[in-house]
Amino acid sequence: MSSVHRNVIKHKIGLLNLAAELGNVSLACKVMGFSRDTFYRY
């Protein structure tokens, strides 16, 4: 797996983990700079 793919996966996992930790999808998306639509696609 290339380093680009690893970085993408790290960002996705980071967003999902932050949402779980905060218990708030909207806030996690705002902090990480993603849209809620992107979150739900992940």
Radius of gyration of the chain (CA): 10
Predicted pLDDT of residue 24: 97
Average of per-residue pLDDT values in the chain: 93
Residue type, 30: K
End-to-end CA distance of the chain: 19
Mark residue 26 as left, alpha or beta (left: phi above 0; alpha: psi -120 to 50; beta: remaining): alpha
pTM of the full structure: 0.81
Gap between the Cα atoms of 11 and 30, Å rounded? 14
Token output for 24: 């708030």
Gap between the Cα atoms of 32 and 20, Å rounded? 13
Predicted pLDDT of residue 20: 97
> pLDDT band at 42, cuts 50/70/90?
confident
pLDDT tens digits, 1-26: 789 999 999 999 999 999 999 999 99
